[in-house]
Structure 1
Amino acid sequence: MDTHVAEVTEGTDSDIGQMDALIPNEIRQILDQIFADKAYCDHERAQALIDEGIIPVIPPPKTAIVHGKPETNWHNFLVFYIQRKGSIYAFHQKFSYGLRERVEAHFSRIIRCLGNSFKTIKLESQKAEAVIIANVLNLWNSFGRPVTVKIG
């Protein structure tokens, strides 16, 4: 998994507010799914992605309810599906949400290897640092994955 886009924002910016900046049009044209955590759950943006032919694999919050008929929009479909199956894990299995764990492992690798804070102070410098970190991780990933074998 390679990093294609990196964005650093002020601490007051929301995750969902950055989605359009993180997924420019040239990337949207080749996407069929977007995996994100609950911080990116937004009815209107999810429906806009569906209308573009991109499936937003973003779990709704536990307190989400169906507004109207399940077939009226993406949010209602997901909430109804989870309610009908009785578990969020049905959503995880149907949409291969476990793939998002690779993204989490990617960020974990950044923190373990490079630290959990930027070395620079100014926002513009942090943006440049984020690009450097992404390029370093992409280089590391190009070396391949370790092969492990259970012994004993």
Structure 2
Amino acid sequence: MPYKHSEERRHKFEKPHYKVTNWPAYNAALKWRGDFTMWFAEEAIAEWCPAKTGARGRPTKYSNVVIETALFIRQVFHLALRQTEGFMNSLARALKVEISIPDFSRISKRSIGLPRHALSKALDPGSLVIVDSTGLKVYGKDEWHQEKHDVPARRTWRKLHLAIDEHHQVLACELTTPEVGDTTAVPDLLDQITTPFEMFMGDGAYDGEPVAQAVLTRQPDAQVIIPPHKSAVRSDIGTTWRDQHIETIAQKGRATWQRISGYNFRSYVELAMQRYKRIFGNTMKARALARQKTEAWISASALNTMTSFGMPVSVKI
């Protein structure tokens, strides 16, 4: 992804063209994403009703696997809660599975306290951690309503923070209010990553000592690839990762620094956000923040499942 310092002369650059070299396999993977016969696995049916614990109070009728499955289907097929209940009932009848389906209100209530397992535990992560954030609309007028009636949007947003590796897998996901800065969300993202990594990468919004300390505390040997501001100066120590980037940029320029540092991999997180919004939309279904956090985590988990089916391999032509 070209750095923004060349914005005023980017029109002179010829737009690159790419060709997908594994189109048959990727075409089959795209079809597989819509195959609904994969949803009820034998392991999920076996854990459908949790065993009685003997504790006081009414026992739980449905396990967390059931609620997670319902939310998974809701996100993938863009359903409301009532339609999710109806879809699961019809799916159980089609598969001839003797299981009961939770009603829509139970799915909504249980989503608040649903335990979220670490996304990286189900993956074979790479060596990179690439982070960025984007906005998801909660409610507000769309662009057509604004243009037609000449009214302000009055939108409410949530901020989605993602951590991606070089295999396009989502390693961590965090949803916050817009007031939370990118640097503030970094420790929470790193806490979700259970595997070691070699390089941490982000855009200029993550330039600062708090991010570097959070990364090096989590992984002391990791490289931190964050572009410093154009007016940045070297520290008194002169040996930090930021000092090295400033010196390299001063000697060879930002474009050369991007190539030798591997900063171009940062476009992967931009691609992941584009895929997230195209598949699940840029508007959240839930209204409460606790439910929205679960919704974002379910979407990230579903995105990893779709990625595991196959991704395009593109080469520049």
The TM-score, its normalising length taken from structure 1, stands at 0.84
Identity of aligned residues (%): 29
What does residue 80 of structure 1 align with?
A: 247
Query: Could you say which structure has the higher strand fraction?
Result: 2
The TM-score, its normalising length taken from structure 2, stands at 0.43
Task: Tell whether 2:196 aligns with 1:33.
Answer: no
What does residue 121 of structure 1 align with?
A: 287
The secondary structure found in structure 2 opposite 1:8 is strand
The secondary structure found in structure 2 opposite 1:6 is strand
Residues 198 and 222 in structure 2, CA contact (< 8 A), matched pair in contact too? yes
Residues 111-150 of structure 1: pairs in structure 2 closer than 5 A: 111-146=277-312
What does residue 224 of structure 2 align with?
A: 56
Deviations 1:70-106 (A, max 9, x none): 33x2222211111111x21222112211111111101
Higher gyration radius (CA)? 2
Unaligned runs of 5+ in 2: 1-167
CA deviation after TM superposition for structure 1 residue 47, in Å:
5.2
CA deviation after TM superposition for structure 1 residue 44, in Å:
4.4
| Alignment partners' CA distance in 2, 1:7 and 1:105 | 17
CA separation of 1:18 and 1:99: change in aligned 2, threshold 3 A: same
The secondary structure found in structure 2 opposite 1:31 is coil
Residues 201 and 226 in structure 2, CA contact (< 8 A), matched pair in contact too? yes
Residues 93-104 of structure 1: pairs in structure 2 closer than 5 A: 93-104=259-270
CA separation of 1:117 and 1:25: change in aligned 2, threshold 3 A: closer
1:75 is matched by which residue type in structure 2?
A: R
Residues 187 and 214 in structure 2, CA contact (< 8 A), matched pair in contact too? no
CA separation of 1:94 and 1:50: change in aligned 2, threshold 3 A: farther
Residues 190 and 215 in structure 2, CA contact (< 8 A), matched pair in contact too? no
CA deviation after TM superposition for structure 1 residue 69, in Å:
5.8
CA separation of 1:115 and 1:103: change in aligned 2, threshold 3 A: same
Unaligned runs of 5+ in 1: none
Deviations 1:25-54 (A, max 9, x none): 863x61111111111111343256357111
2:274 is matched by which residue type in structure 1?
A: S
Residues 207 and 226 in structure 2, CA contact (< 8 A), matched pair in contact too? yes
CA separation of 1:149 and 1:106: change in aligned 2, threshold 3 A: closer
CA separation of 1:70 and 1:107: change in aligned 2, threshold 3 A: same
CA separation of 1:84 and 1:43: change in aligned 2, threshold 3 A: farther
| Alignment partners' CA distance in 2, 1:49 and 1:117 | 31
RMSD between aligned residues:
2.3
CA separation of 1:95 and 1:141: change in aligned 2, threshold 3 A: same
2:293 is matched by which residue type in structure 1?
A: K
